[in-house]
Structure 1
Amino acid sequence: MRIGCVLVWIQRKESIGRHGKLFPISEVQHRVLSDGISMRRYVAEDQLPAASGGKAPQIDQAEWVEFQKEVESLLSACQKAGRRLVDAMWELRGEESGTPSGSVVGVSGISTPSDNGQDRRRRRRRRRHLQAQHRLVTKALSDATLARLRRDGPAALCRIEEMARLLSDSEDVRCGVGRVRMLFAEVSRAARRLEQLGERRRERLRALARLRALQ
């Protein structure tokens, strides 16, 4: 998470000097605020806790921080795995556009020469092409990040939803849950789609192998 600016709430102006230099290591940009009017310039009143002059219900800050950590971790894994799946899809599409010409695809998925002859060289090219596509799909689906996400993601999402129930009054918590649900579902759908594409290529390779065995 990249932090652009930190708001520091100190109720009494005379106590500001006692805190010395804030954030001496990171030197992150920050604003020191000491009254509700100043705070409302940056945060909506319904998002401010009562102690800071707002109307938002009080929430456990430690639980909120833990919730955000869980959300950021799962979002990061989803984004990383999603990018790799998209790359694989594009590469597979490029492979499809390079399908050997001069043949037509039958119902079984086997490329049959348009003149019905036994063109072995053409079939070998087709077989190598399918094998390359299958390796591409297998490599994408065996990616370590994707494998961990598919194994641990459902449990992580359940933890996030359980934590969110304890922080249900927080608008950003509700938004965080919605975002992580959507992204995890998108990655899951993309992975299943890639599995289906891989299975189709395996079936075509098996069909080619059966045809070859009959010759």
Structure 2
Amino acid sequence: MEAIVVRDLAVSYGSTAVLTGLDLTVPAGTGVCITGENGIGKSTLLRCVAGLQRPDEGEIEVFGGPPGAAPEFWRAVATTVEPPTWYPGLTVREHAELVCRAHGVHADDAGADEALERLGIGAQTDAIPASMSSGQKQRLTLALAFLRPSRLLILDEPEQRLDPEGRETVAALIAEYLADGGSLLMASHDDAFTAASGASGVGMPSLAAR
């Protein structure tokens, strides 16, 4: 089964066409990275595949069904396309525990502490996310995505706001996820990061001239 199939996708904002006639296939167990300049629809494509935005035309299938249509979709798909919700009063560790519990796993069994440590925020387990830097919040967002069980990751520029060491760590986590049979669709500007993650880069044609 294909993880993602996109056929003839079209999205416009007012009179401006952002995506036109876009086709994309992501075989199960593989990773695809969408590359290209800002403003050509990478995030829009990811939002549509994640079921967070309805396209004007075209069809999308995720594991054989429409995106966002059933609880099974959200059990299978983890995404960082939307900004995370930080719950007031909950610490970093408690956010990790909440995400794990919501997906039927214990934080210790999921390796929550190890994941936070690996992503460089092990010393912030008692911090409130709202008090953290943008880079630390990005690391926490990614940690939560990797901690919960999933079959597909949809990541929008996961390397943003990370230093070189952080990018290397996240690329390694993605590569391990793919090696374990997961599927990936992400957008990135960093060719070296894409290569290290094990994803295949696919350039999105610019629609600026249309």
- TM-score in same-fold range (> 0.5): no
The answer to which structure, 1 or 2, has the higher relative contact order (CA under 8 A, 6+ apart) is: 2
Please say which structure displays the higher CA radius of gyration. Answer: 1
TM-score w.r.t. length of structure 1: 0.22
Higher strand share: 2
Higher helix share: 1
TM-score w.r.t. length of structure 2: 0.23
